[in-house]
Structures are given as structure tokens and as C-alpha cells.
Structure 1
Amino acid sequence: LQYPVLMSHQLCLLLVGVAWSFSLLKSVTETVIAMRLPFCGHHVISHFMCEILAVLKLACGDMSVSEAFLLAGSILLLPMPLTLICLSYTLILVTVLRMPSAAGRRKAFSTCSAHLAVVVLFYGALIYMYMKPKTKQADVSDEVFTVLYAVVTPMLNPVIYSLRNKEVKEAARKVWNKNWTSR
């Protein structure tokens, strides 16, 4: 609740720089590892996105290094941030429960629960995709979970923020009522 005091411009730039640096390092390393693998058979990715998991399904030969790197990266880059996010939401929850106003608590819970739902959906889909046992066959669930974390969750953020706006809520209510009364 003291965000403007704690989050200086320099700290924000440092956090963004660290996140981008780790992401770039992970992506470049995955690409180099994948480029060194032997590929056999047909070279058609049975997926609608060219991500590392789909590319690795085409490789043949010893993939222990690439699988170990993916597992290590998944352990570091998925459960750790999710744990930190859940810890921060726990601290927020404790603070909100101490609020004397019931209306203030309700508003804070409404905002936090929507954000937490998106975080859980995003990280849940990613953890499922990257931590499940690897198979050579393309699976429909791979595509569904990829859509969840790559398309659905980024689309939910604007919806969540716009539903905090009274005018947007009222417009949505009018459209909803109009559709139900016209049937």
C-alpha cells in the first residue's frame, strides 16, 4: 500500500532489466541448444506456434541436455515467481483483513481475486505445459494450454481493468439486459 514510496523509477528499471535479461538469456540458450540437435523425419511442427516444446518434438537423438535445461528453467521461472506472487497476495490479504471498512475490504477482495485468478490461470497453464512428462506426439491439450497462457490471459487483463470502470460496467449491464429481453 506504500507502492509510490517503495517503487522508485530506478528500482522499476532494475526489475524490468533483470526480467528482460533472464528472458533473453533463457531464449537464446534454448535456441542454441535446439539448433545443435539432430532433426530427422519430416520437419512439420504439429502446433500452431513455433515454441521450444513443439520444436523439440521433431528432434531425434540424445535430448538429455535440452530436457535438463528446460526442466531447470521451468523450475526457476515458473514456481518461484508464482510463489512470490502468492506470498505478496497473502500479505495483501492480511492487510485487507485489518481494514475497518467492510466496503473497502469488499472492493479490495474484488480487485485482488480477479488478478489472482488470472495469475493462477497463467501459471497453471504454463506449469502444466512445461512440467508434464515429455512425449513425441502432439497433443490437443498442448494447444489448448498454449492458448490459455499465450492468448486468453493477456486478453483478460484489459477486461479486468475495464470492469473496474463504472461506465463500462453500466454499458455491459445494458447490453446483457438487452440481449436477454430480446429473446
Structure 2
Amino acid sequence: MTILNDTQSVLDLLRTRKSASAKAMTGPGPAPLELDEILRCAVRVPDHGKLAPWRFILWEGEARAAFGQIMRARWQALHPDHGAESFAMMQGLFLRAPVVLGVISTAGDHPKIPIWEQQLSAGAVCMNILYAATALGYACQWNTDWVAYDGGIASAMGLAPHERVAGLIYIGTAAAPLEDRPRPDPAALITRWTGP
């Protein structure tokens, strides 16, 4: 029988998790069975009403370059005064890692479950992807960039009008050592409620 919420090794991961920069990733990325495992972990999130208010878009292999052409054309249409270097950078966004996983919030009106709670669930999916990919030994980064907020790109992704990009998760192998950054002191962020 599976032990649920087994924390014997999870706390170390939670205490030490660090994103890698997508700009400093290389291959390999997760194999198909590993990606399946990552997604199985991803969906183990709080989900009020069991709505599963999210879905995934996967870019790997040649699909990354093909979508890069779309991003370049859109960026060029939005910013025709930018130079060739800027256009090339936008074209290469998804080539920074072997796998790019889009988490799409499908939150919508519901008689009992607020949209905000559904969106938070999509954010939790993004975080679980980072934990699972890291636990499997991969470098990963949750990103959005302009791509997540542009209507033309949303159309190219096949998003419905109510859908939003919750995150673009880059997954690969770190090409440079990770460096930690200062973290906030939790004690400085807590207010103990003592009454009205």
C-alpha cells in the first residue's frame, strides 16, 4: 500500500529547491516515461470541486523551432523597429531547453468554485512540475514572458478565449552551476492574529 504524504526526503527538496535559468540549459530533457511521471505528479494538487481547471501543451523536438517561427513573426509585427538580434532571440526562446511545458489555466465561471481558486490550482500544478522535474534530476524554470500574455500567441497555441497561460516550464539539464539567491526570512512575513 502506498504511503501518502511520506515526508522522509521531501523536506530536503522543499528546503533547497532552486530554479535553473532557461538561458543556461542544455539536453538531455526528460524521456517520455519521465515526462509522464512529472505530469502525474503535476496533477496531485488542491483542486476545489475536482474541476481539473488546467491542461498542458508540450513543445519538444522540432515543434520548439516551428513555434519559434511564430513567436518571431509575432514579435516582429508588434515591434517592427527592433533589430534582427531581437527577432532571433524571440525565435530561439523555446530552443533554450529540450522540453517546454505550457500549463494552461482553463478556469471558468462556476456556481460554487471562484475563478481565483481555479487559477491558484493551476499555479500549484506549475510548482509540482518544478518539484517533480527537480526530483528526477532535471534543471527547470517556471517562466511566462510576453508570450503568456499576447493574444496572437494565445491563438497560435490554440487557447480558448477564457484560457490563460499559467506558466511555461523549461526542463532540461543545467549547463552551468546553480547559484542560490537570498531568500526572505519567514519570521519577518508573519502576522499573528490576536483578535479584532
TM-score (norm 1): 0.26
Higher relative contact order, structure no. (Cα contacts within 8 Å, ≥ 6 residues apart): 2
Structure having the larger proportion of residues in strand: 2
